[in-house]
Amino acid sequence: MSPLVDWVLGPYEFEFMRRALLVLIVVSIVGGVVGAFVVHKGLAFAGDALAHSTLAGVSVAFVAGMNVSAGALAAAVLTALGIGWTRERARVSYDTAIGILFVAMFSIGILVLSTRTSYTPDLFSFVFGDILGVSNSDIVGALILGVGVLLFVVAFYRELLFVAYDPQMARTVGLPARAFEYALVALVAVAVVVALKAIGIVLVNAMLIIPAATASLLVTRLQQIMLLGVAIALTSSIVGLQLSFHASVATSPAIVLTGCVLFVAALGWQRWRGRTVVAPDAPAAA
Amino acid sequence: MVDAVHAHVPAREPLAPEHEHEGFALVVRDLSAGYPGFPPAIQGVNLRVPVGELVGLIGPNGAGKSTLFKSMLGLIRPQRGEVLAFGRPVERAREDIAYMPQIEEVDWEFPATVLDVVLMGRYHRVRPFGRWSKADHAAAMDALERVQLAKMAHRQVGQLSGGQRRRVLMARAIARGARLLLLDEPFAGLDAGVQHDLVRILDELAHEGRAILIATHDLTCVANSCDEAICLNHRVIAAGPSAEVLTAEVLTETFQRHLLTIPDAASAIAAVAAAGEHD
């Protein structure tokens, strides 16, 4: 084998690397698709809040001896619904509502953890991500949730697009716009949980934002942003995984930083193209 | 004052309730509506929009135009009275109603194309895995032809100018194929030429037998283009053929202090109307 092929394929002789690759493929597809909505509906802060809120579910489930991923999912979905509810009911801004729920859930997590005196590596794998420790059941869980998210987006693509663009008109034709607004935040919550074990609470939001933001620099339609976002997420995941293996550093920051490099490259490409081409897409006069 | 205004523009002869909606796309009867916990924004509103006509709904900001529109769209429940479209409560006549919102209500930054947006006009119900049919595409492209935007079907809506954005929303309302069109401030901020083009399209639609209600604060447009005018300020001040309704008396009562800076409303209207014709 040539050294390059060995460099690329060698790591996958290890089962933990094959598992990592598998879970990253699921994370990339879900992140690219859901991320398009996160970036274009201003849900970046909500995504971060949902990620941090999972600490409450993780720690409670851990202390109670229940399934930790199920705890994370419950906490994220509850927080998603809470954000929607607070947005409607409380006379505070959306950002403020998210900010309050975020710190409340995170505080519950820290409080519960503080009752444990011994070091709990299982929990810290959720905070910083532990892609090489992903188990088969983690993969199955991510697959089930990921397929659920994708099915929902494909099934209700027209509704999600309509409500995102013009919720008022959507209501006038009898579309339950509010339900779909809740559903969208819930989708973000599930997407966060899909990536949580692999990437970790602190960095998981990057998997939703960076690929979609990078794709948005290059293409303009929602479907294109989703597809290119998935491709960009896969690229940064695989390159990041590879680099971290050979450099013996943590994987999730390697993936995130690879994504950031791609973002900067896309930004450069976009500006270069904007300067050299006589803007083909410039708005024509009315 | 109030009586004088109403004497000036006599209300239509009331019909027997079962015939009341004949010839009318929209009938609003004794409607009071507003937000819970606040005094009603509109009170005791009666009005009718005839089939085949362009009707202007005018009134100052805060007169209750939006509340009236939301009631007509079934978005808020009346506190009293009812809104009937083609003889049915609006919630059961959604297929017959098309709505064009103010452009500020739409998220233009969302990555949708012109065609995506116009296709939304063809949306009827939640259907998992629903896709647009060939007929939907044909109707959307026809509507785009009508507003002369067919060439831009695959453009992202965020790249359009203000006038083009309004034409996209109008195309979406047309694509619905509804018999009643409710347009909220369709001309705000447009120059006279573009406005003229849009009015021409609306005229054609009216002649095809659609009923069109335009909420606006643009008196010139109503004076020049609408068959009928309805003046609203929390209640209906006057309604009827534009030429008869738009008098100094009615406009002063409708706009109140909003027109105080103009000493003679009638000559002001004459002036803007004349200016409109020059355009």
The pLDDT, as a whole number, for residue B81 is 93
Q: Is residue A257 part of a domain?
A: yes
- The answer on A264 and A130 residing in a single domain is no
Q: Which of A48-57, A164-173, B247-256 has the lowest mean pLDDT?
A: B247-256
Of A36 and B2, the one with more pLDDT: A36
The whole-number pLDDT of residue A1 equals 63
Tell me the C-alpha distance between B137 and B119, whole Å.
Answer: 7
- Do A180 and A155 share a structural domain? yes
Interchain CB distance below 8 Å, B116 and A159:
no
Q: What does the pLDDT read at residue B21?
A: 65
Of the partner residues A159, A164, A283, the one whose CB lies closest to the CB of residue B126: A159
Secondary structure (3-state) at A156 = coil
Helix (H) or strand (E) holding A185: helix A177-199
ipTM over 0.90: no
Contacts of A282 in chain B (CB under 8 A): 159
Contact call for A221 and B120, based on CB within 8 A = no
Task: Please tell me if residue B125 touches chain A, with a CB cutoff of 8 Å.
Answer: yes
Domain count, chain B: 1
Residues A148, A77 share a domain: yes
Residues A218 and A182 in one domain: no
Residue with tokens 């109603």: B97
How confident is the model at residue A51, as a pLDDT? 95
Number of domains forming the structure of chain A: 2
Same domain, A158 and A191: yes
Answer yes or no: do A166 and B109 touch at CB < 8 A. Answer: no
- Residue B7 scores a pLDDT above 60: no
Q: A-chain residues within 8 Å CB-CB of B162?
A: 286
Average the pLDDT over A89-99 and give the result: 84
pLDDT for the residue numbered B9: 43
Q: Which of A168, A202, A236 is the last residue of a domain?
A: A202
Residues A196 and A241 in one domain: no
Looking up residue A141, the CATH number of its domain turns out to be: 1.10.3470.10
Specify the pLDDT at position B6.
42
**Domain-terminating residue out of A187, A202, A217:** A202
Query: A53 in a domain, yes or no?
Result: yes
Is the pTM for the entire model greater than 0.80? Answer: yes
User: What b/e string do you get for A10-34 counting C-beta neighbours within 10 Å, with b at 16 or more?
Assistant: ebeeeeebebbbbbbbbbbbbbbbb
Could you tell me which of A26, A35, A71, A33 has the C-alpha nearest to residue A53?
Answer: A71
Q: Are residues A128 and A230 in the same domain?
A: no
Residue A224: domain span? 205-274
Do B107 and A164 make contact, defined as CB atoms within 8 angstroms? yes
Q: Are A83 and A148 in contact (CB under 8 A)?
A: no
- Assess contact for B42 and B107: CB atoms under 8 A: no
**Lowest mean per-residue pLDDT among A69-73, A82-86, B70-74:** A82-86
> What is the extent of the structural domain holding B180?
2-278
Q: Is residue A19 part of a domain?
A: no
State the pLDDT at residue B17.
Answer: 55
**Lowest mean pLDDT across A197-201, A272-276, B123-127, B157-161:** A272-276
Residues A197 and A254 reside in one and the same domain: no
Do A141 and A247 share a domain, yes or no?
no
* Number of residues that make up chain B: 279
Asked if pLDDT for residue A15 goes beyond 80, the answer is: yes
CATH number, domain containing residue B169:
3.40.50.300
Query: Which residues of A fall within a CB distance of 8 Å from B161?
Result: 283-286
Residue A282's pLDDT is: 45
Name the DSSP letter for residue B217: S
- Among A196-205, B19-28, B220-229, the least confident range: B19-28
| B contact residues 227-266, partner A, Cβ 8 Å cutoff | none
Interface residues from chain A to B (CB-CB < 8 Å):
36, 40-41, 154-156, 158-159, 161-162, 164-166, 168-176, 216, 220-222, 225, 281-286
At A166 the pLDDT is 95
- A265 & A193 share domain: no
- Residue written as token pair 């971290």: A244
pLDDT in the model for residue B107? 94
Average pLDDT over residues A168-197: 93
Lowest mean pLDDT among A118-122, A159-163, B108-112, B158-162: A118-122
For residues A198 and A106, state if they share a domain: yes
Considering A152, A179, A202, which residue would you say is the last residue of a domain? A202
Question: Are residues A219 and A191 part of one domain?
Answer: no
Q: Is the pLDDT of residue A157 over 80?
A: yes
